[in-house]
Amino acid sequence: MTHHDRLLIIDFGSQVTQLIARRLRELSVYCEIHPFQKVTESFLTEFAPKAVILSGGPSSVFADGAPMPPASVFDLGVPILGICYGQQVMMHCLGGKVERGHGTAEFGRAFVTPKDADLVLLEGWFEDDREQVWMSHGDHVSEIAPGFDVYGTSPNAPFAITADTERNFFAVQFHPEVHHTPNGKKLYQNFVRLAGFKGDWTMGAYRDDAIAKIRNQVGDRKVICGLSGGVDSSVAAVLIHEAIGDQLTCVFVDHGLLRLNEADEVVSMFRDNYNIPLIHADEADLFLNALEGVSDPEQKRKTIGKLFIDVFQKYANDIDGAEFLAQGTLYPDVIESVSFSGGPSVTIKSHHNVGGLPEKMGLKLVEPLRELFKDEVRALGRELGLPDSFIGRHPFPGPGLAIRCPGEITRNKLEILRRADAVYIDQIRKHGLYDEIWQAFVAILPVRTVGVMGDGRTYDYACALRAVTSVDGMTADYYPFTHEFLGETATRIINEVQGINRVTYDITSKPPGTIEWE
Ligand code: XMP
Pocket test for ligand 1, best of 299, 516, 517, 518 (most atoms within 8 A of CB): 516
Residue 485: what residue type?
F
| Ligand 1 contact via 385 beta carbon (within 6 Å) | no
Once rounded to an integer, what is the mean pLDDT over residues 325-337?
80
How far, CA to CA in Å, does 512 sit from each of 4, 399, 474, 475? 43, 22, 11, 9
Cβ of 351 less than 6 Å from ligand 1: yes
- Indicate whether residue 228 lines ligand 1 (CB < 6 A): no
Ligand 1: does its nearest atom lie under 6 Å from the Cβ of 439? yes
Q: Pick the more confident residue, 104 or 389.
A: 389
Closest-lying ligand 1 atom to the alpha carbon of residue 514: 5
Whether 506 lines ligand 1, by a CB cut-off of 6 Å, is no
Count H helices and E strands in the chain, helices first.
Answer: 15, 22
pLDDT, position 340: 53
Distance in angstroms (rounded) separating the CA atoms of residues 127 and 95: 33
Q: Look at residues 121, 176, 181 and name the one whose alpha carbon lies nearest to residue 148.
A: 121
**Mean pLDDT over residues 77-92, rounded?**
97
Mean local confidence (pLDDT), 386-400: 92
**Pair 1, 200: CB distance under 8 Å:** no
pLDDT in tens, 46-75: 999 999 999 999 889 998 889 999 999 999
Q: Is the pLDDT of residue 403 over 70?
A: yes
CA 516 to centroid of ligand 1, rounded, Å:
7
* Residue 82: closest CA among 29, 27, 22, 159: 159
Ligand 1 centroid to Cα of residue 394, in Å, is: 11
**Do 100 and 129 form a contact (C-beta atoms < 8 A)?**
no
Of the candidates 166, 135, 177, 178, the one whose C-alpha atom is nearest the C-alpha of residue 153 is: 135
Predicted pLDDT of residue 334: 75
Question: Ligand 1, atom 22: nearest CA belongs to which residue?
Answer: 397
Active site residues: 84, 175, 177
Residue 149 near residue 132 (C-beta atoms within 8 A): no
Which pLDDT does position 63 carry in this prediction? 87
Distance between the two ends of the chain, CA-based, in angstroms?
Answer: 40
Q: Is the pLDDT of residue 451 over 70?
A: yes
Give residue 517 CA to ligand 1 midpoint distance, Å.
Answer: 10
Q: How far, in Å, CA of 112 to CA of 126, rounded? A: 9
- The whole-number pLDDT of residue 408 equals 97
Stretch 312-321: mean pLDDT, rounded? 90
pLDDT above 70 coverage of the chain, percent:
94
> Which residues, at least 6 apart from 453, have a Cβ–Cβ distance to it below 8 Å?
494, 501
Give the lowest-confidence range in 294-298, 310-314, 432-436, 487-491. 310-314
> Can you list the pairs that 100-105 forms with residues at least 24 positions away whose Cβ atoms lie under 8 Å?
100/60, 100/62, 100/138, 100/139, 101/138, 101/139, 101/140, 104/140, 104/156, 105/137, 105/138, 105/140
Residue 214 pLDDT greater than 70, yes or no: yes
Residue located nearest, by CA, to atom 14 of ligand 1: 397
Mean pLDDT, residues 401-428 taken together = 98
CA proximity to 504, closest of 472, 458, 467 = 467
* pTM given for the model: 0.78
Write the single-letter amino acid at 169.
F
Which of 463, 421, 440, 403 lies closest to 257, judged by CA? 403
Q: Is the pLDDT of residue 344 over 50?
A: no
pLDDT per position as a tens digit, 190-204: 999 999 999 988 899
Helix ranges (DSSP H) in 155-260: 184-194, 203-218, 231-244
Beta bridge partners of 141: 98
Q: What single-letter amino acid sits at 192? A: V
Predicted confidence at residue 347, as pLDDT, reads 43
Give the pLDDT of residue 341.
Answer: 45
Q: How far, in Å, from the CA of 473 to the mean position of ligand 1?
A: 8
Rg of the chain's alpha carbons, rounded to an integer? Answer: 27
345 pLDDT higher than 60: no
More confident residue, 2 or 131: 131
Question: 203-218 vs 374-383: helix axis angle to the nearest 10?
Answer: 90
Coil, helix or strand at residue 502? strand
Half-sphere exposure in the Cβ direction for 417 (13 Å, CA): 25
In angstroms, the CA 231 to CA 484 distance is: 32
pLDDT bin (cut points 50, 70, 90) of residue 332 is: confident
Mean pLDDT of the chain: 91
Is 302's C-beta closer than 6 angstroms to any atom of ligand 1? no
Cα of 399 from ligand 1 centre, angstroms: 9
Percent of the chain at pLDDT exceeding 90: 75
Those residues whose C-beta lies under 8 Å from the C-beta of residue 216, and which sit 6 or more positions away, are: none
332 against 12, higher pLDDT: 12
Given this model, what pLDDT does residue 455 score? 87
Regarding the beta carbon of 399 and ligand 1, being less than 6 Å apart is answered: yes
Q: How many CA atoms lie within 13 A of 246 on its CB side?
A: 4
Q: Taking residues 471-488, what's their average pLDDT?
A: 92
Nearest to 175 by CA among 41, 342, 336, 54: 54
Q: How far from the centroid of its chain's Cα atoms is residue 498's Cα? A: 38
For ligand 1, whether the C-beta of 394 sits within 6 Å is no
Q: How confident is the model at residue 453 (pLDDT cuts 50, 70, 90)?
A: confident
What is the predicted pLDDT for the residue at 205?
A: 87
CA 130 to chain centre: 33
Ligand 1 pocket, 515 CB below 6 A? Answer: yes
**DSSP-assigned letter for residue 369:** T
Atom of ligand 1 nearest to the CA of 439: 24
What is the helix (H) or strand (E) element at residue 490, kind and residue range? helix 483-496
Q: What is the pLDDT of residues 102-122, one digit of tens each?
A: 666 677 889 999 998 789 999
Write the CB contacts of 452 (distance below 8 Å, at least 6 apart in sequence): 458
Mutation to probe ligand 1, out of 253, 298, 351, 478 (largest number of atoms < 8 A from CB): 351
Residue 346 has pLDDT above 90, yes or no: no
